[in-house]
């Protein structure tokens, strides 16, 4: 998930430290849990983290998280953070938001650089869509076409 400033963030509830599972942990284990949440947020894999990442602060805090049911073993290489998807944003949702934003941006570039300048760009998905729907601007007599640059032209 990203805020208006574009930096991704994770959600931590205000009563995080009051949660009995968290309250039972040592400070190091709490720090490990937070760092794993941040890592999982960065990696966008729905709370799946590597066993190696789980042991970055040693075996003891790692075992605390497992004992409290905050980490579930998937296999020898991977663990999943407890209830990650329930609290955080699913990878698919992040991906969809990103795509919506990207395609809105691409659409704006298409209007500005292609429709307004009457340049048909083969590499532009919106130009291709307009071509298929026989958009008016493509009938304009001043229309020029831009073909994708090949390696040898760069
Ligand atoms: Zn275009």
Domain boundaries, the chain: 16-87, 91-153
Q: What is the CA(60)–ligand 1 centre distance, in A?
A: 56
Could you give phi then psi for residue 139, rounded to 5 degrees? -90, -5
What residues flank ion ligand 1 with Cβ within 5 A?
A: 110, 114, 121, 124, 126-127
The Cα–Cα gap between 117 and 149 comes to: 19
Residue-wise pLDDT for 113-151, tens only, equals: 999 999 999 888 899 889 988 899 999 999 998 866 555
Q: Where residue 4 falls among pLDDT bands split at 50, 70, 90?
A: low
Distance 101 CA to ligand 1 centre (A): 17
Instruction: Determine the pLDDT at residue 154.
Output: 45
pLDDT mean across residues, the chain:
87
User: Nearest-CA neighbor of 53 among 27, 41, 132, 93?
Assistant: 41
DSSP classification of residue 17 = G
Tell me phi and psi for residue 78, to 5 degrees. Answer: -140, 150
Whether pTM > 0.85 for this model: the answer is no
pLDDT at 92: 77
pLDDT tens for each residue of 6-28: 788 888 889 999 999 999 999 99
């Amino acid at each position: 998930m990203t805020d208006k400033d574009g930096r991704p963030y994770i959600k931590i509830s205000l009563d995080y430290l009051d949660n009995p599972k968290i309250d039972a942990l040592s400070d190091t284990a709490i720090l490990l849990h937070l760092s794993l949440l941040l890592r999982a947020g960065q990696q966008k894999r729905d709370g799946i983290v590597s066993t190696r990442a789980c042991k970055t602060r040693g075996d003891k805090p790692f075992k605390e998280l497992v004992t409290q049911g905050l980490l579930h073993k998937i296999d020898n290489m991977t663990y999943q953070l407890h209830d990650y998807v329930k609290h955080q944003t699913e990878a698919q949702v992040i991906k969809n938001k990103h795509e919506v934003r990207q395609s809105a941006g691409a659409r704006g570039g298409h209007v500005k650089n292609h429709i307004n300048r009457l340049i048909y760009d083969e590499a532009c998905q919106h130009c291709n869509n307009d071509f298929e729907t026989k958009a008016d601007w493509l009938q304009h007599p001043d229309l020029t076409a831009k073909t994708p640059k090949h390696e040898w032209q760069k």
